[in-house]
Structure 1
Amino acid sequence: MPVLKTRRIAHIDMDAFFASCELSRYPELKGLPVVVGGRSSHAPRIREDGTHAFSRLRDYAGRGVLTTATYEARALGLHSAMPTMHAAKLAPDAILLPVNFELYRHYSRLFKEAIRSISPLVENIGIDEVYADVSMLPGEANEIAQQLKSAVFTATGLTCSVGIAPNKLLAKLCSEMQKPDGITVITLSDIPFRIWPMPAKKINGIGPKASAKLESLEIKTIGQIAAMSEAWLVQHFGNSYGRWLHRVSHGQDDRPVITESVPVSMSRETTFERNLHAVRDKPALSQAFTQLCERVASDLQQKGYTCRKIGIKLRFDDFKTVTRDLTLPAPISDAKSLRLFCGKCLKRIALDKKIRLLGVKASGLVPTDHSVHADAAQFTLDFTVDERGGPGKLDSVLSDILA
């Protein structure tokens, strides 16, 4: 009879990934507070002596948010998703760099290829993190973690933090314990001493609302959840979520590492630096709309999918969000077709308020090999339409906006 090895799951998380990618291009910024979240106008300029001149947070004006921050910037109170103008007040001299997703995708591919060179059982969960089932690899867990880290550094020149535990839940928790560039290994016997003292909100799945409710019940740590009976948790959080809280607080998680997954949808959206008027700012809106369709089309084609349904999202200056969808008679993946039919969706919205956010979404995904592809010229306007609130009342000017 073969000997069954203890299940070992690794969570590998790149350290300050976007910022680290940028520092690989500008090594002179290492050790300095750097944030990513600027526009192309904040790109470094080359001086006459060949050195780079960098923008500072104090140079920023707008309402964007930070994408990431180096650990030196985090020490000043800056963090991802923080409004950039607020960050500028806290650390006006911090270096500001524009977002460069092409660069980040390049390093992400290298990082994931490096992990697969050690373990083929890898689940992709984000641009900068993966799970890997390392149960069958020889050696101690610390040795395996070091192999993973070394492979990533050799491939990218960047550091990562690795957590290894009996399941995905615990692996993700422990990968954060010794950031950056750390290794953490825990077993089920470590839960009372290393997991229970952690804040409850550290568990992926306990969001702001659940965290606030737990605190209102004077529960702040994972251990305090674990001390409650399952019946008590069900009483206060409902059957499904209460039972889940009981399981995860005791470190129970039997989810497998999923090496292949089918995406449900692909979407892109942008929040404008200022609210845009449908008529006066038509060129800027039209350009943004086209670029979003091009990016969604690129995502579909790179990942080998077409879509049977497309949709748009608008958020107005009063923060009201409106969506419209179209189900198509045949799948598409090219930017021209996406642009055409997203425009049809747009014409069903009354554009009588300034626009804060614009988004494009492709769903009903079909692998390219399984679809009968068609382009925009082959379609009639006989769609199945999801009105969700009915068409907007458009005048003759608004009906042509962004078309």
Structure 2
Amino acid sequence: MNPPPLRRIAHVDMDAFYASVELLRYPELRGKPVVIGGGRNATPELRPDGTRRFARLRDYAGRGVVTTSTYEARAFGVFSAMGMMKAAQLAPDAILLPTDFDSYRRYSRLFKDAVRTFTDRIEDRGIDEIFVDLTLVEGESRSLGLRIKNAVREATGLTCSIAIAPNKLLAKIGSELDKPDGLTILSMSDLESRIWPLAAKKVNGIGPRASERLAELGISTVGDLARADLGLLQESFGRTYAAWLARIAHGLDDREVVVSSEPKSMSRETTFERDMHVERDRAVLTPALTQLCERVADDLDRKGYCGRTVGVKVKFADFKIVTRDISLPVGVRDTANIRRAVGACLKRIELDRRIRLIGVRVSALERRSADNPDGPDTGPIQGELPFDC
């Protein structure tokens, strides 16, 4: 019996996706720091001479958060989920644009359809990224990666970064190594030279707080983590998380590419750059939570679902995780109803410690009714929240 073929998993990640879509619309902004996330007031103004007047980040006032930014803005330290006012301090002259989710969804469909011309073994991970199982697709990895990149560019006019590796863990890490417009081929033999020198925080699932705790143990890189004593990790992180850290440090990941077209839930979460105080950091927590609701609502709308159960996840600074959910009489898919349900869940959590992560989840999914495509209004659910302004 012939051995099974070696797995080839690709992670396809669009480069600064929302910002890149906007640059197609406003090509004069190429090479400039641009931040996406403003409201209607950030809509460019067309001058009589045909040129456009763009809003500047320095003029922003409010509690919004950055949706995304161009690489030029990231050079100033401006990243997604950052408070807009903090971003304005870092890059006051950056251009500010409003979000346009209709356009982002359209380009998302275009790039995914382009990849589907190679295989239907695709796991949708959001509007701008997918995993692709290329194990049974003919062609050498580098040549195949170039063909996929060219297909995406022809379909959208946008660039993507691709990594092809033996598993999802390495593919996800690899797609960041040569951004933007990168193509990275990894094997297990590349672990020591390409993965171990990386900062531990580069691994998805190791957030700022975990990185700090690892640094306290003298562990700053993935290689340090691979050489660390398992008992020491268990003392600091517990048995389950320590075992996961040891596995990922050695590039081990047996997760399959999930192609199922019927998801059980849709969720979004964000880990903060620092632990958030419930009262003093309202200006960051409240818009961040609302944006998570918006992103889940966008996922539901894009895939044609609504959900009857809405939940919230809070990870505190001591790594304790608390979840709460609420079952609704009818399915919801819009931001307002999801936000109200999340508020009801939060009222059942004792927010007595600093927060390092929040997440929003909608489950008990059902296909949206053709008779009521917008979904019902469940009415008011919440009162004022601890960090809701």
Band of TM-score, shorter chain: 0.7 to 0.9
The answer as to whether partners of 1:164 and 1:171 remain within 8 angstroms in 2 is yes
Q: Indicate conservation of the 8 Å contact 1:60/1:88, yes or no.
A: yes
Matches within 5 A, 1:322-333: 327-328=327-328, 331-332=330-331
Tell me, what secondary structure is at the counterpart of 2:193? helix
1:264 aligns with 2:270: no
Partner residue, 1:27: 27
Deviation of residue 234 (structure 1)? 2.5
Asked if structure 2 preserves the Cα contact closer than 8 Å seen for 1:55 and 1:96, the reply is yes
Task: Establish whether residue 233 from structure 1 lines up as the match of residue 215 from structure 2.
Answer: no
Contact 2:305 2:333 in 1 (8 A): no
How far 1:219 moved relative to its partner?
A: 0.5
Whether contact under 8 Å (2:265, 2:361) holds in the other structure is no
8 Å CA contact 1:304–1:367 kept in 2: the answer is: yes
CA displacement at 1:62 relative to structure 2: 1.7
Give the root-mean-square deviation of aligned CA atoms. 3.9
Quick one: which amino acid aligns to residue 195 of structure 1? I
For residue 119 of structure 1, give the secondary structure of its aligned residue in structure 2. Answer: coil
Distance 1:239-1:248 versus aligned 2 partners, 3 A rule: same
Letter in 2 for 1:163: A
Report the Cα distance in structure 1 between the residues aligned to 2:301 and 2:73, rounded to whole angstroms: 37
Note the C-alpha offset of 1:100. 1.3
- SS of the residue corresponding to residue 126 of structure 1 reads coil
2:248 aligns with 248
1:80-108 superposed Cα distances (whole Å, 9 cap, x missing partner) = 22222222233222211111111111111
Deviations 1:40-78 (A, max 9, x none): 111011111222111111221122222111112222332
1:360 offset after TM fit, Å?
A: 9.6
Q: For 2:76 and 2:163, how far apart are their aligned partners in 1?
A: 27
Q: Distance in 2 between matches of 1:376 and 1:65?
A: 28
Compared CA separation, residues 244 and 85, structure 1 to 2 (3 A): same
SS of alignment partner, residue 163 of structure 1? strand
Deviations 1:89-133 (A, max 9, x none): 332222111111111111111111111111211111121111101
Contact 2:15 2:159 in 1 (8 A): yes
> Which structure has the bigger radius of gyration?
1
After superposition, the C-alpha distances for 1:329-379 in whole angstroms (9 at most, x for unaligned) are: 5x44587x969x96x979x99xxxxxxxxx99754323469xxx9x979x9
Asked if the contact 1:64–1:83 (Cα under 8 Å) also holds between the matched residues in 2, the reply is yes
Structure 2 stretches of 5 or more lacking a match? 270-281, 284-289, 314-322, 349-358, 385-389
- How far apart, CA to CA, are the structure 2 residues paired with 1:35 and 1:392? 33
- Deviation larger for 232-241 or 205-214: 232-241
Counterpart code for 2:178? Q
CA shift in 2, pair 1:311/1:225, >3 Å: closer
Q: Which residue in 2 is equivalent to 1:399?
A: none
1: distance between equivalents of 2:217 and 2:293?
46
1:174-220: CA deviation from partner (whole Å, max 9, x where unpaired) = 11111100111111011111111100111111112211110110100
SS in 1 for 2:117: helix
Deviations 1:198-257, CA, capped at 9 Å, x for gaps: 001111111122111101101000001111233332333221111111111000000000
Which residue identity lines up with residue 194 of structure 1 in the other structure?
A: R
Structure 2 Cα separation of the partners of residues 338 and 124 of structure 1: 25
SS at match of 1:226: helix
**Counterpart in 2 of 1:15?**
15
Distance 1:298 1:106 in 2: 12
- Quote the residue 1:136 is aligned against: 136
- The alpha-carbon deviation at position 35 of structure 1 amounts to 1.1
Aligned sequence identity (%): 51
Alignment match, 1:104: 104
Tell me which residue corresponds to 1:400.
Answer: none
Q: Is the 8 A contact 1:265 1:364 kept in 2?
A: no
**Normalized against structure 1, the TM-score is what?**
0.72
Please state how far the C-alpha of 1:6 moved relative to its aligned partner.
1.4
Say if 1:65 and 1:82, in contact at 8 Å, map to a contact too: yes
Is 2:296–2:362's contact at 8 Å kept on the other side of the alignment? yes
Residues 118 and 147 in structure 1, CA contact (< 8 A), matched pair in contact too: no
> Match of 1:43?
43
Sort the Cα spacing of 1:178 and 1:266 in 2 relative to 1 into closer, same or farther, 3 A. Answer: closer
Looking at structure 2, the residues matched to 295 and 247 of structure 1 have their Cα atoms a distance apart, in angstroms, of 31
Quote the residue 1:354 is aligned against.
Answer: none
Contact 2:304 2:368 in 1 (8 A): yes
CA distance in 2, matches of 1:212, 1:67: 25
State the 1:308 CA deviation.
Answer: 3.2
Contact 1:19 1:34 in 2 (8 A): yes
| Cα distance between partner residues in 2 of 1:47 and 1:227 | 61
Cα pair distance change 1:151/1:47, threshold 3 Å: same
Matches within 5 A, 1:205-224: 205-224=205-224
Equivalents in 1 of 2:96, 2:383: separation in Å? 41
Deviation of 1:140 (Å): 1.5
How far off is 1:310 after superposition? 5.6
Shift of 1:266: 6.6
Counterpart in the other structure of 1:352: none
1:266·1:300 contact (CA, 8 Å) conserved in 2? no
Report the alpha carbon displacement of residue 39 of structure 1 after superposing the two structures with TM. Answer: 1.1
Structure 1 contact 310–338 (Cα < 8 Å) conserved? no
Is the CA contact 1:35–1:73 (under 8 Å) kept in the aligned structure 2?
yes
How far apart, in 2, do the equivalents of 1:295 and 1:79 lie? 17
Q: Distance in 2 between matches of 1:5 and 1:324?
A: 43
Mapped partners of 2:242, 2:254: distance in 1: 17
| Secondary structure in structure 1 of the residue aligned to 2:308 | strand
Match of 1:120 in 2: 120
- Cα distance in 1 for partners of 2:376, 2:65 equals 36
Amino acid at match of 2:256: P
- What amino acid maps onto 2:70 in structure 1? T
Query: How far 1:137 moved relative to its partner?
Result: 1.5
Q: Any idea what SS the aligned residue of 1:158 has? A: coil
Residue 16 to residue 334, structure 1, CA distance change in 2 (3 Å): closer
| Number of residue pairs the alignment of both structures matches | 337
